Amino acid sequence: MTLLADTVEARARVLAQHGFNLDLIPSRLVLDDYQTDSLMHRDYPSVPLLRQDGDGELDERLAAAFQALFGLPQVLALAQGRLAEALLVNALVTAGDCVLGSAPFPTLQAHLQLRGATYCTVSTADAGGQFRADLDCVALEQAIKRVGRQRIPFLLVEACTNAIGGVPVSLDNLRAVKAVADRYGIPLLLDATRILSNACLIREYACDWRDHDELSIVQALCALADGVLLSATKEMPTTIGGFLALRDRTLFERCRDQALIFGTGLDLLGKRRLLAAMREPHGLVKQVRSRIDQVRRFHGLLQLGDESQVGVHGVFLMAGAQFTAMHARAFLNHLYVGYGVRGALNPGGSAGPGDALVRFALGVPGKDERVLDTAAICIGEALRETDQHLALEEVHRPAGLAGGMLATYRQAGSVQP
């Protein structure tokens, strides 16, 4: 029997059949999807591929294209950003280690956990300003002394940190973090998944960089890093791809050894797609800038004030006394059943007051403006219909690190007292 999701009743059945876990519902059963800004699981028309001679040199051409854009010459082209994380962690991390840096994406934490290591999030320094992902360098240095230099394989800074709402890091702060890293001899890694967006906001907010184009800002950011890892499916027109690049030859060779063991995940077609996606760097910047503008418009349509935050790739609803993780999941399920719109609990986010708890993400190049207009109305209505928000009780959580994502639930009455 083919599942349909074109009515409230049909979507209620779909949700029940998937254990009241929105993450388990296939995108074909969602009318308007804001679950992620990744193009990986979308029917997205990639950049047209030009068949060229010399496919055997694709790895070299990919490395050259990456170096031209990001400035690092020793690079591995991979299928996904999470594979870059896996290779990096397997090569550089041992049991008992602790990585310090920006609030991490959950997959990095999972890789570290599998190695018997941990992650320590460093507090931010500019919570009320424009560069809210800036790390507190005093807190960073205190954490290094507390953990011990010998237990820290690398520091990590994420451009436009998703976990705290897709907000940017400044060049000045990255330079300060690099100074701390150099003082202790610790490699500094940059998660550049949304670096083009970060560069757009540096040009917009930082007076010293308004006369520079975004691509030169990308180069300036990467010049401060000892290595870069990224998922290509967030800011490039491709459904596959990621990169891992390191300046130190010895560290690079250790990561390359991991790639020889586990593979890169890229076949010939995947490599062509990834190369084609980097063909027009200025076009990438234009699309990312357009997405930022559209997200801001979407945020304005919602009119949620301090209850929401605009990031570079989505609108975030903030946790509070009346909007906890339980309320958020109940709201998201109601939004899907009642209106066919899917948002998501923010990956890596926390449920503390003022934290980015729920995310409505927009992929590049964005959505039709009329679709956004309708979605904003639906979200507003669903938020007001609290009497229809049904709390959930966990029924089953599979073992392993993926248990939380795959857990199933049952409805347990209204979230209202």
CATH of the domain at 209: 3.40.640.10
End residue of a domain, out of 228, 246, 278: 278
Are residue 202 and residue 340 in the same domain, yes or no?
Answer: no
Are residue 110 and residue 152 in the same domain, yes or no?
Answer: yes
Q: Is residue 88 part of a domain?
A: yes
The tokens of 154 are what? 């690398």
CA dihedral 272, 276, 279, 285 (to 10 degrees): -130
pLDDT at residue 46 in the model: 55
Are residue 337 and residue 407 in the same domain, yes or no?
Answer: yes
pLDDT at residue 52 in the model: 55
Q: Which CA distances in Å does 54 have to 58, 69, 272, 380?
A: 7, 22, 11, 53
Are residue 231 and residue 173 in the same domain, yes or no?
Answer: yes
Q: Is residue 188 part of a domain?
A: yes
Are residue 24 and residue 128 in the same domain, yes or no?
Answer: no
Question: Distance (Å, rounded) from C-alpha 228 to C-alpha 252?
Answer: 11
Q: Is residue 283 part of a domain?
A: no
CA 21 to chain CA centroid, Å, is 20
Residue 396: strand pairing partners:
408
The tokens of 368 are what? 């039709």
Q: What is the CATH number of the domain that holds 341?
A: 3.90.1150.10
pLDDT at residue 53 in the model: 47
Q: Is residue 49 part of a domain?
A: no
- Split into its structural domains, the chain has a count of 2
End residue of a domain, out of 228, 248, 278: 278
CA dihedral 280, 286, 289, 290 (to 10 degrees): -120
Domain of residue 295, residue span: 8-42+289-412
pLDDT at residue 57 in the model: 85
Question: Distance (Å, rounded) from C-alpha 29 to C-alpha 41?
Answer: 13
Q: What is the pLDDT of residues 70-128, one digit of tens each?
A: 999 899 999 999 999 999 999 999 999 999 999 999 999 999 999 999 999 999 987 67
Are residue 204 and residue 304 in the same domain, yes or no?
Answer: no
Q: Is residue 394 part of a domain?
A: yes
Question: Distance (Å, rounded) from C-alpha 331 to C-alpha 299?
Answer: 18
pLDDT at residue 54 in the model: 54
Are residue 26 and residue 120 in the same domain, yes or no?
Answer: no
Are residue 268 and residue 301 in the same domain, yes or no?
Answer: no
Question: Distance (Å, rounded) from C-alpha 299 to C-alpha 147?
Answer: 40
Question: Distance (Å, rounded) from C-alpha 269 to C-alpha 284?
Answer: 21
pLDDT at residue 365 in the model: 85
Are residue 147 and residue 239 in the same domain, yes or no?
Answer: yes
Are residue 103 and residue 252 in the same domain, yes or no?
Answer: yes
The count of other CB atoms within 10 Å of the CB of residue 36 is: 22
DSSP 192: -
Are residue 113 and residue 209 in the same domain, yes or no?
Answer: yes
Close Cβ partners of 267 (under 8 Å, ≥ 6 residues apart): none
pLDDT at residue 148 in the model: 98
Are residue 14 and residue 85 in the same domain, yes or no?
Answer: no
pLDDT at residue 49 in the model: 55
Q: Is residue 284 part of a domain?
A: no
End residue of a domain, out of 227, 257, 278: 278
Q: What is the pLDDT of residues 258-279, one digit of tens each?
A: 999 999 999 999 999 999 999 9
Q: Is residue 330 part of a domain?
A: yes
Q: What is the pLDDT along the chain (417 residues), one digit of tens a residue?
A: 566 789 999 999 999 999 999 999 999 999 999 999 999 877 665 555 555 545 568 889 999 999 999 999 899 999 999 999 999 999 999 999 999 999 999 999 999 999 999 999 999 987 678 999 999 999 999 999 999 999 999 999 999 999 999 999 999 999 999 999 999 999 999 999 999 999 999 999 999 999 999 999 999 999 999 999 999 999 999 999 999 999 999 999 999 999 999 999 999 999 999 999 999 999 999 999 999 999 999 999 999 998 999 999 999 999 987 899 999 999 999 999 999 999 999 998 877 888 899 999 999 989 999 999 999 999 999 999 999 999 999 999 999 888 888 999 999 988 876
**Closest residue by Cα to residue 14 from 259, 340, 265:** 340
Q: Is residue 2 part of a domain?
A: no
**Helix or strand (DSSP H, E) at 414:** strand 408-414
Residue 155: strand pairing partners:
100, 188
Helix or strand or coil: residue 91? helix
